[in-house]
Structure 1
């Protein structure tokens, strides 16, 4: 017995020592929010005050010192995120996660982002002010890498830390530019539908620009089906492997003084980006004698993409313009190494790459390039076929001035300076929103746009010798869609169709008018906007379009076949105002019904694979409203039945019945149990959180959430057979700047400032975000200096 007691005491001591060791190890991994540090390259001391939500307020005597400190504090909260984002475009994910990511690495390498980056950086002017500040920022990151604690993800994946260089900034921006990727999902699919089913099946798919929708108004006072299918599948697979933010859409509106209670501009912006943990934005406030900015930074990028100070505010939404084109190439029948280019056969350019793979041999692969761009066949296992498909993308084929653009946007002090730098943003297409303390408001669609002849439709794979010429006819920036101080006294963007330019509606992958219509509906009649009403609007969860869709569909319901409870459901739907609160029953029924309606309408013609691809496109979102009132659509007929031709009545009734059956199976016969909160949830997933044992440590949530896709609080989700709507993207921040009281402007992040799971700021905003609450974006120096946490950086001897 004494021996057992001794063993027990010994084991207890070991356990206590292990717990102490784990505690000490954990403590060493936490970010330092207070204390003193020496920082190489500093000229003078920099003070960093952390507020209650972990936002650093950086006070320096000059800009280089401030950006150097920014690099350090950004890295200690987001180094793992920086590491992942810089690896995507350069094909470095397999080195972290193993063979499953090899196809993804091949795909991103073939896009040519990293090659374009090398060329851009080689031509940079080292004396350029933007480059100097970017280098100072990188120096701060690299000192943290050398001296700071290693994030736990590096231990778990076994990768080594390495310094950041200018190429990493461009590669990260390049990935974010591509992440929209709607052309890759859409153009091959439409080409397949055209070849497989015929042109009549495209007429109802909202393929072209829509003249019957809510436009953003200008105001400027001055047939190889298998290869095509595989291409769409390859892109969906590559992006689906990434638990990393993808750009999706966005809202923004700016209200002029004439429509505000206090006679000053109110600016609102909520970019819609794929949810992940850490969330995409890192907030930082910098003050120097010559520079002030409260900015939102992407990991590894020194200049904020969203920002404000006491003079101006700016933000972004996706323009959604079409800047990617696909071309069939004609191979030489007697020489597989050649293709036809204008006047004869020429050799493909061969690009060789090597991918490092965790716990496996490195993978060597080659891909071909033509005058149009990379040939996608053979890059990943999904793409094989005899007809080479090449991709032309504006981002890699025009001069990249992104550092200059972001630097100048950040340092602009008025609308003239701000507008002058916008032509430097070539891709992705962005709606840049602007407001200032002098009362100016503006919207600019920024991108390198080009003339498209009437005979060319950009949403198909061009046959050899057709389509747009290699040398495009670029349009001057002043021709881009834009509005400056319009008579409406507001500007907005909701990724919807912009007004015409140079006699044409510019092609794109625009989202339906739902959010735009609601924004205009709320902005137009009201002339006393203030901060409180703006926060209510940015969290609005009501659709003004979906009740119209319900009205259109219920006209076809045969009520004589319905039982009492089913009639009650119809009554609820007919009285629905489109609200997506947690208790909404109508929202649950509506989405089940629409999914089965889409499935019965399109799957018989498309088949399982193409239907799944169709659901991932904006086409699906755009088609719902017009389809609900188009009883003549060719899609209504079920081609699997030979003895009859189905009509809209048949599909509407059978899909409604399927929806009710599925809801009863899932939640029982009590209609009151069919609440939105039971099907609509949000979980912020971390790449390592995919491991079941680590999910609760790294992931944040799940939460029951209000909102839906294509309402202002755009909590979007994919459709599938589960009948569950797991939110995949939404407002990556909600921010409102009121120029009548700038220091009390508000914001919120989906989870928290820090990407370090040991930080108390890892998820301290998550519940507030779900509840539609906000916190102050502090800019008052006296208030900031009351902070209990101060990190002092001093020059290193």
Structure 2
């Protein structure tokens, strides 16, 4: 009897194993059907002559055609081959249609995007494009659609394995979709609205509102403007109202203002170049994902070849070069958003107050369909100032008085938006002068464009800069009364007035998101800048040698030395170094001494293999928490990253900022040295709980792992090990090799935001230029090109950025020929 039971159990187990193997094989077979074939000939509609797509050994497509339209058709086809799922998710996001695919989890995201109506504005913007741009947008869309048609007619696994799990109809690509991609990028790259709300909340929470200039300081180097007390503008608001915080859903384009965008770009004139040609380096910083948002491509246009980083969905090289011109992007931090508090009519809440009395909201209903749930209808409302947002968006409810709603003015809401057109024109520019003219018409996102041609260098802020009234109540820094004329935008500053720098006498220019100009209000660019730290290290590296080379630019791009650590550690630890005799082993005092000994010999290099960066990062994090938690209460948890200028102000007692060191709830009067010592003990307890007390064996890279995670499948057990790309990395929040940390959660030091693309262009020998992305070209996790560039990127290596067609063909991985259907 037992033998029969065992036999049947064996048969059942064997059957289950066989079924599991068959199931896995079927899943693999269906998923692999969508792997693109790069070596083929395909007849398609919409091109005038054959288009050739040569894939080099890094899977970079080199696209050749008889016209620019045909070449952009080829780019659309290549984007859809490798990144279809990414393009669809981005389109669903900007359309406010994620819930149709992913269910209720994304309803809040959809509601916000519907209120902004970015996709509706993009559709209107199509009518403002010139015929040449429209022809190119249509050609690119036709290339995407040619791939969709091929997928449908040849049963190519729906084009992406994710579409088996999240079935959704795929509409044809249109020119409006590409314009909308630009507007989605503008949403991801601006943090001014969130910063305005945070300033208002902090002003309300602080016992002494004058201390706002400490915790949210202006970038050093200019006068600090007097700020109004927000409660004075809107009396009766609670001192602290708990907000919902920012979503950690990887599908959300809205992030904490600290992640509003960052980048490095710098250039050298021939006089500062060892080989006598201009140099340009660029590494734009965005949130990490698998695949990265960047896609490498080479286009052979009628004006010549261009090569660099593209974003699937947008038909242009955003950072790259031709034989004659190179260009790079950094977020300009233009103050491009203003929050307005709109007063409702007490007699009719369908009206809001204006300078001329109460006026009816412009309204429209919008139905959001939700997978697995009933549809939700929301009412979209607009004022003269812009769309009305929900109180749940950006925590606006915490600073909106009863009987009021919040609206937003934003440059990306302009329908006369030629940003994508400017990117297309830029690729054909032959020199700096032509490039500056091509960039006219850019609306949002505002960028500093660094340029280098064969003889000179330049940097120009492109994008709309709002014109504000001199009487603006908060100078655009905090929400204001939307019914006062002086708080409303007065149009935009002329393009010629945007900051511009040409051929500086020193032969070097660049930007690390630092303050570029210090104009007085209302001619200013911004009060909020993305960097007060990296620029110091960059300046030192640029000035440390008389002439530069491609390799010295690469060295600067990959530099991991923290100016912040070098400047702050002597300041906060000045009374702690080597004080007293060695404490007994095993005591907290001895652990503190060992940590201080390590930090005393450290040069500030945020190297993944060293223990000191983790000790330093944990100390500063604990220090800021101790300084602000009694003054800000629960709001302190929303300051998720260390603010170096705040710590410097406190420990130098600038304008009495040392007041932060005294804990208000305690009887003794604590000194800043007391708080520094207590914070170091806090940090060491945190480290010991997670990594043990062997400080010398700690590795920064164990905590600072780059998180290139799949937006959807990255959370699925087992599968996440195949789709996520995790790597130990160097760098940190304030190094040129920037690896911005998460700031929250059980491991706040995960590297979540940095340079997904790097490029260095040498015009003494253009074909010696190099570039890299942080994952690989393919978005298909079964492809060898899904992560083949990741380890090169981690090690600071690059691939050749050559326009030599013979070189691409010599080591090609396939050649796709698109032939006209007619």
Determine if the TM-score, normalized by the shorter chain, exceeds 0.5. yes
- The answer as to 2:638 corresponding to 1:629 is no
**Alpha-carbon offset, residue 404 of structure 1:** 2.2
Gaps (5+ residues) in structure 2? 224-233, 584-588
Matches within 5 A, 1:41-190: 41-125=46-130, 128-148=131-151, 149=156, 150=158, 151-190=160-199
Tell me the residue number matched to 1:620: 643
Tell me the residue number matched to 1:408: 425
Q: What whole-Å deviation, never above 9, does each CA across 1:338-392 have from its counterpart, x for those lacking one?
A: 1210121111222321111111111101132211112223566966562311111
Are 2:481 and 2:487, in contact at CA under 8 Å, matched by a contact in 1? no
Tell me the residue number matched to 1:759: 783
Tell me the residue number matched to 2:299: 286
Moved more, 496-505 or 377-386: 377-386
Tell me the residue number matched to 2:526: 507
Are 1:556 and 1:648, in contact at CA under 8 Å, matched by a contact in 2? no
Mapped to 1, the partners of 2:82 and 2:602 lie a distance apart of 44
Are 1:244 and 1:687, in contact at CA under 8 Å, matched by a contact in 2? no
Matches within 5 A, 1:148-297: 148=151, 149=156, 150=158, 151-197=160-206, 198-211=208-221, 223=234, 233=244, 236-237=246-247, 241-242=251-252, 248-297=261-310
Distance change >3 Å, CA 382–CA 615, structure 1 → 2: closer
Tell me the residue number matched to 2:226: none
Moved more, 311-320 or 6-15: 6-15
Mapped to 1, the partners of 2:236 and 2:165 lie a distance apart of 42
Mapped to 2, the partners of 1:633 and 1:12 lie a distance apart of 67
Distance change >3 Å, CA 716–CA 11, structure 1 → 2: closer
Tell me the residue number matched to 2:230: none
Moved more, 467-476 or 391-400: 467-476
Gaps (5+ residues) in structure 1? 214-222
Mapped to 2, the partners of 1:794 and 1:59 lie a distance apart of 12
The partner residue of 2:450 within 433, 439, 449 is: 433
**Alpha-carbon offset, residue 465 of structure 1:** 4.3
Q: What whole-Å deviation, never above 9, does each CA across 1:39-78 have from its counterpart, x for those lacking one?
A: 2122222221111111011111222221112111110100
Are 2:335 and 2:466, in contact at CA under 8 Å, matched by a contact in 1? no
Are 1:89 and 1:172, in contact at CA under 8 Å, matched by a contact in 2? yes
**Alpha-carbon offset, residue 173 of structure 1:** 1.1
Matches within 5 A, 1:388-399: 388-397=405-414, 399=416
Q: What whole-Å deviation, never above 9, does each CA across 1:273-301 have from its counterpart, x for those lacking one?
A: 10011101111111244442113211211
- The answer as to 2:633 corresponding to 1:607 is yes
Deviating above 6 A after TM superposition, structure 1's stretches of 4 or more consecutive aligned residues are: 1-17, 224-232, 243-246
Q: What whole-Å deviation, never above 9, does each CA across 1:254-312 have from its counterpart, x for those lacking one?
A: 11111111000111000011001110111111124444211321121111211211110
Q: What whole-Å deviation, never above 9, does each CA across 1:204-235 have from its counterpart, x for those lacking one?
A: 1344353269xxxxxxxxx478799879746x
Distance change >3 Å, CA 479–CA 169, structure 1 → 2: same
Aligned-partner SS, 2:33: helix
- The answer as to 2:577 corresponding to 1:552 is no
Mapped to 2, the partners of 1:611 and 1:672 lie a distance apart of 31
**Alpha-carbon offset, residue 79 of structure 1:** 0.5
Mapped to 1, the partners of 2:430 and 2:735 lie a distance apart of 34
The partner residue of 2:763 within 739, 748, 753 is: 739
Are 1:188 and 1:231, in contact at CA under 8 Å, matched by a contact in 2? no
Distance change >3 Å, CA 675–CA 330, structure 1 → 2: same
Mapped to 2, the partners of 1:238 and 1:347 lie a distance apart of 36
Q: TM-score if structure 2 supplies the norm length?
A: 0.89
Tell me the residue number matched to 1:344: 357
- The answer as to 2:690 corresponding to 1:666 is yes
The partner residue of 2:559 within 537, 540, 547 is: 540
Tell me the residue number matched to 2:505: 487
Are 2:537 and 2:563, in contact at CA under 8 Å, matched by a contact in 1? yes
Q: What whole-Å deviation, never above 9, does each CA across 1:77-123 have from its counterpart, x for those lacking one?
A: 00101001112121011112110111111111112312322321244
Aligned-partner SS, 2:290: coil
Tell me the residue number matched to 1:523: 542
- The answer as to 2:34 corresponding to 1:29 is yes
Q: What whole-Å deviation, never above 9, does each CA across 1:463-509 have from its counterpart, x for those lacking one?
A: 35458443415322222222110001011000011123477543242
Mapped to 1, the partners of 2:239 and 2:47 lie a distance apart of 54
Mapped to 1, the partners of 2:355 and 2:396 lie a distance apart of 26
Moved more, 665-674 or 258-267: 665-674
Aligned-partner SS, 1:785: helix
Are 1:273 and 1:730, in contact at CA under 8 Å, matched by a contact in 2? yes
**Alpha-carbon offset, residue 566 of structure 1:** 2.5
Matches within 5 A, 1:311-460: 311-378=324-391, 384=397, 386=402, 387-397=404-414, 399-437=416-454, 439-452=455-468, 453=470, 456-460=474-478
Aligned-partner SS, 1:204: helix
Distance change >3 Å, CA 209–CA 579, structure 1 → 2: closer
Mapped to 1, the partners of 2:200 and 2:16 lie a distance apart of 68
**Alpha-carbon offset, residue 675 of structure 1:** 2.4
Are 1:448 and 1:474, in contact at CA under 8 Å, matched by a contact in 2? yes
Mapped to 1, the partners of 2:17 and 2:221 lie a distance apart of 75
Distance change >3 Å, CA 182–CA 627, structure 1 → 2: farther
Give the CA RMSD over aligned residues. 2.9
